[in-house]
Structure 1
Amino acid sequence: MIPRALIRKQRAIVLALFTLIAIIIVIGAGTGYSSLSYNRLIPTLLGQGTFKEEFVLFSLRLPRICITLLAGMALALSGSILQGITRNDLADPGMVGINSGAGVAVAVFFLFIPIEAGTFAYLLPLAAFAGALVTACLIYLFSYSKKDGLQPFKLILIGVGFSLALSGTMIVLISSADYHKVDFIAKWLSGNIWGDDWKFVWAVLPWMALLIPFALYKAARLNLLQLGDPAAIGVGVSVQRERIVLLLAAVALAASVVSVTGGIAFVGLMAPHLAKALIGPRHQLFIPIAILIGGFLLLLADTIGRNAADPDGIPAGIVVALIGAPYFIFLLFKK
């Protein structure tokens, strides 16, 4: 039974995060290379703007804001699930090699598979999911033993090793590719939000609509897995089956968004920790907060990076890394 005071606290935090996200959305919609004054936002939203204002808002700003918000939410939820099933506070889809596996699949798909432009946005998340899934399965197998079960610290080390190996594979793949394609992959590696079109929003949205409720439904199982295998088995949890199902969900969440946002790390690491610090370790309480924190962090990073340098700005992945890398080092020493 969750105390009413905690539920009220969670609702207050969720409301505050919604407010912060709304503020960042307004700031992001009104700033950028093409100016759109704040007093023209509401008239433009209501269809009373000029052609230029409507083009900037509906074709450039809003789809980018939506895909960035969805990506931050998905990465935060993926990190929350990974930390729960591995019982390791350093787990993150970028740190354990899932993003790199998705990146190699995206590179192979983009460089070598001819595809029609109309279906590219919808097939890209599937290709990224396939690459991330193979990587996650291999990391899981190498870090699991029949005697000790899943070894969380070993999983992180193996994940980092896979990430480095896959980064080398990516360099080999692009070494002989066409210049324009190499430029795209280089931007992807730096965490540049390139899929800033409505078709990418519609491609990612079904994954989010399915997997966010699923993760919330499995929150009680994550609480039990966090206690350790003996305790979870003692109350009737099929540990291996639950881990595999939840791992698939985490991989799908990360792969679906990094395919269009690039290799963004640390969001899935920081958001769950910040949420736990605010509300405690129960997954039912902190997962919704972590999702909103992830969306806020990536949206803030992209807004800062987009306006830090003209005309292309700084990729959101680099801005997040400037914050996340010191935080990761702090956690490493702390844990």
Structure 2
Amino acid sequence: MKTRQKKAVRASLVLLLLCLCVLLISLNTGTIRLSPVEVLKTAVGLGSPRDSIVLFDYRLPRLLIAMLAGLGLGIAGCLLQGLSRNALADPGVIGIHAGAAFGLILFLRFFGTLEGSFTIFIPLFTFIGGLCAAGLITFFSFDRKAGFLPQRLLLNGIALAAGFSALTLVLSLRLDEEVYSFAAYWLAGNIWGREWIHVLALLPWLLVLVPYSFFHAGALNMLSLGEAPAAGLGVNVAKQRAGLLLCAVALSSASVSMAGGIGFIGLAAPQIARRIAGPLHQYVLPLSGLIGMLILMAADTIGRSLFAPVGIPAGIVTAALGAPYFLYVFRKSTHS
């Protein structure tokens, strides 16, 4: 136990250091370059007006969105894999992101704008859409006699994701050209939240849900063993599973509401974390969040700088890295 704890602490410190390095690199990346010295001077109020605008009005809000969304997606994927006992479970793969996209399109149809104070309601709409998807997936994965069947989760999720994607496409075709262009960028995984109001819209969700997931890590350990063993150990299976599933849906839906349709982070981050710290979720959950944060920050930085001045959505970068990893995990799971 102590060995795993030490490994988890060391890995967390290394990940935090890497996140800091990526943060400094990203703050220096763009059409207007800011050296680390200029970044530090601007951060303490000694920079030029131009540098202050670049740092505080453009780059820092976007980076904070990437950090918060990556954290949320990594933890959400870990929760889903623990609840489903399926290494392939990912909010994007099983259809929660498709439901969140449907919720976003409903928001656009209802409000017709992405500006002003209405932005604060976007995570709520994506959560409702993701919750509808999760509810349907759970319903179709439940057997009256055998109870919840994790092995049905992936196929049901893929099927429902296709259905929600079709509904989203139909609704998006009825939007005006500017809003439709935004929806297309969102679906590609473009981090669009670049103002402080977007950070404020996302931050409360993580401040509540991340501690909740950490507090229930012990229950998740028992649920990972199966319903019968968990019930035998005194866990209220229905209550804990519902609470943790809602937490996972809310984390992933709120995260993608500001970061776009980012995939594969929820798949890869928990598996990498388990290889480092073992199966116990009190160690795996924090590591999954930090790994997700690092992946999304790096993907956004690569997408903005690789083909500058033309930016590539972070979702495309994560998909390019994640698709081969998904095939590897799928092949490994089918041959195990």
TM-score, shorter chain, exceeding 0.5:
yes
Count of matched residue positions in the alignment of Structure 1 and Structure 2: 333
1:160 is aligned to 2:158: yes
Cα drift, residue 313 of structure 1: 0.5
Cα drift, residue 165 of structure 1: 1.2
Q: Deviations over 1:64-108 (max 9, x none)?
A: 111001000000000010111111111111011111101011012
Who is 1:124 aligned against? 122
2:198 and 2:115 map into 1 onto residues whose CA distance is: 12
Which has the larger displacement, 12-21 or 304-313?
304-313
Q: CA RMSD in A?
A: 1.2
Question: What letter corresponds to residue 111 of structure 1 in structure 2?
Answer: R
Who is 1:135 aligned against? 133
Who is 2:308 aligned against? 310
Question: What letter corresponds to residue 117 of structure 2 in structure 1?
Answer: T
What TM-score comes out, normalization by structure 1 length? 0.97
Question: What letter corresponds to residue 57 of structure 2 in structure 1?
Answer: S
Do the aligned residues in 2 keep the contact of 1:68 with 1:302 (CA within 8 Å)? yes
**Which consecutive unaligned segments of at least 5 residues does structure 1 have?**
none
1:210 is aligned to 2:208: yes
Q: Deviations over 1:243-295 (max 9, x none)?
A: 11111000110111111111111000000000000110100111111110000
SS class of match (1:310): coil
Structure 1 vs Structure 2: percent identity of aligned residues? 42
2:232 and 2:324 map into 1 onto residues whose CA distance is: 39
Cα drift, residue 114 of structure 1: 4.7
1:287 and 1:5 map into 2 onto residues whose CA distance is: 17
1:36 and 1:163 map into 2 onto residues whose CA distance is: 42
1:326 and 1:249 map into 2 onto residues whose CA distance is: 28
Q: Deviations over 1:145-191 (max 9, x none)?
A: 12222111211101011111111112111223211111000000000
Do the aligned residues in 1 keep the contact of 2:19 with 2:294 (CA within 8 Å)? yes
SS class of match (1:88): coil
2:236 and 2:33 map into 1 onto residues whose CA distance is: 55
Q: Deviations over 1:100-140 (max 9, x none)?
A: 10101101211333568432221001111111111111110
Who is 1:107 aligned against? 105
1:12 and 1:80 map into 2 onto residues whose CA distance is: 20
What TM-score comes out, normalization by structure 2 length? 0.97
Do the aligned residues in 1 keep the contact of 2:5 with 2:277 (CA within 8 Å)? no
Q: Deviations over 1:21-48 (max 9, x none)?
A: 0000000001112222233111111111
2:113 and 2:259 map into 1 onto residues whose CA distance is: 20
Who is 1:248 aligned against? 246
Do the aligned residues in 2 keep the contact of 1:33 with 1:307 (CA within 8 Å)? no
**Which consecutive unaligned segments of at least 5 residues does structure 2 have?**
none
Do the aligned residues in 2 keep the contact of 1:190 with 1:315 (CA within 8 Å)? yes
Do the aligned residues in 2 keep the contact of 1:71 with 1:258 (CA within 8 Å)? yes
Question: What letter corresponds to residue 292 of structure 1 in structure 2?
Answer: L
Who is 2:280 aligned against? 282
Question: What letter corresponds to residue 61 of structure 1 in structure 2?
Answer: R
